[in-house]
Structure 1
Amino acid sequence: MKKRKVVPHPYVKERLLTEGMNALKEKRYKEGYTYLTQLKELQLHDDDVEMALVVCLFEMGHVGEAKERCEQLLERGKGDWAVYISMLVHLQQYDEVVAVIHKLQRKGIDCTPFLPLLQFSEKMIRSQHEQRAKQYESIFQGNEWAKQLRILQQLDFRLVSHLVPIFVRYLRDETKHSIVKTTMLHILKKEQVTEPMIVKKFGQTMTVIPAELDEQQQKRWIEQVLDIVEKTWAKQNPTMYEWCEQIWFRYMFAMYPFLPTEPVQQWANALYTYVEQCETGQTIWTSPLVSKLYEAEKLWLSVESI
């Protein structure tokens, strides 16, 4: 039997729309949603009806679905930015509130009505960052090296300004982890922090301004040593060379921002000796430089759980 197409009564749309909008005005959101959904099922709805459904969903507590539908409307150039921003605030998505309002401002849209929400969201973001910094402070006071390094590797860089005092104390504490310190310094350099800081590692002390750290010096040292290793051993034993390369990168990372003081050739010899002894299972380090490589590797092992 052929399915007949149902043609709505001419006044159905007007009646459902009137009932739905009246219910919405009177805050009977569930009832309004029922009327307006019928319009949609009969394909008699438009963008205004869809926006009314968004409001109903939002007020009924279905904020996620309301946000998704509102985004679809806004993508078509319809919808209501005020409703959308209110939903973001309700969902505590303050970063997105700030991003959306700034986007509208760049488009030349008058955002005066949204400025209180912008200020509120920025205040909440600052508060969240301060709370997070306090949580991190207790962690960096302790000795959970792997956890500390994991935090730094996943760090929201907007937190850096709140963490500078914590980093300053950590860097000048000789007992703290050298690899964690290096990671801190890289973060501070990337964020162009200009505050002078004392760094203590391996019995050495240096005052640095992170923004001015010259990473090229360390890069040149790495290349010079590996160039000797490559010319001497890369062809006869490629695996040995790759191992030397890994050990040397790890040692120099642990040392940063300090540079070796011994000749390049001595370090190349020490690298090969260290790797050769590891390969044979020997654990007696007769050379001071080989001992330094061994100590650096122990540091890496202490954070290998990441």
Structure 2
Amino acid sequence: MKKKHSNVVAFPGLKQRLMQKAFDAVASEQFELALSYFQQLGDEKLPYDAGVARVVALMETGRMEEARSQCFYLLTESSVENYDLMDIYLGILVHCNQFAEAAEIAQTLIDSPNTPVVYQSAFRKYVQYPETSTPSPSPVRLVTAEDSTTDEEDWTFVDQISHVEAERYIEAIESFLMHPQKHPILKTTLLEILQKQGVKKQVNCEKFGMTMSVSANELLPVFEQSLFHEVLKQLEDHVEFENPTLHALMAEQWRQLVSGVYPFPLPFEDGEVWGAAIHYISACRNGLDMSIEGAAVLYQSAISDIEEAVQYIQMIEEKVFGSGPLPFA
């Protein structure tokens, strides 16, 4: 999704005033108003408490996919283990029908000796959460590239497509897939819907300035790719036993990256390099002692390859989540 640039003139103290107005709006349950203030802050990187307030506003206005992305970004940026925020994130996953993913993360946290008992009890509900069917939504509102739609309408469109015969709306779907301002994760979700429904028609898909023509039913599902599992195994071998919570965040960061890029391939297929890059970024964001050189030794990879992978990950995260660059340590 194209980053929105602020039109606000940088008057002294304006950022603080806008942020306080956003806090006040959330406190008074005026969530749309709060989001308008956050939007006026443009590309400003929000402090942690403001980020959480924005996630709450997004959730309360039904914008679950964006809430998911922003909450995940806060988790990866946090230098401490925040179980309350993780609980919010797991709840968002459930609302997004990502039951298996929520259960996997919750089980990892429950199994971790570092997780306080009170949170272990809270996380158990996500492991046991049933995949219940949802009622059919109202008729689909067709969205084309020419429509001036809101983010909420985009998410509603994708959700509705999942409950109907998608092939009937293939032109609208392709228009969405080719629109450079539509969110990459939502485009992946549309392709997954076409896969599940066995749609054979070719569609064009644009992401990050690249275009590809695909038949969704011929694509390997996003999380069944060998490289995806190879990197998960690398992270499991190097991180899970020592720090289960950090491992869960790393695994989720890798899932988000692969999902954001799909169906395009990553620049190179080397599980050790991608594992090293994910490990390095997560360690730096969580205040842990990790250098590129250390990651290179741990994962037996070339420093230059890891640096290239780190730069690529940050480029994708900036476009998908709006996160900023991370200097090499």
TM bucket by the smaller chain?
0.3 to 0.5
Greater C-alpha Rg: 1
TM-score, normalised to structure 2's length?
Answer: 0.45
Query: Higher relative contact order by CA 8 Å / sep ≥ 6: 1 or 2?
Result: 2
TM-score, normalised to structure 1's length?
Answer: 0.48
Greater helix share, 1 or 2? 1
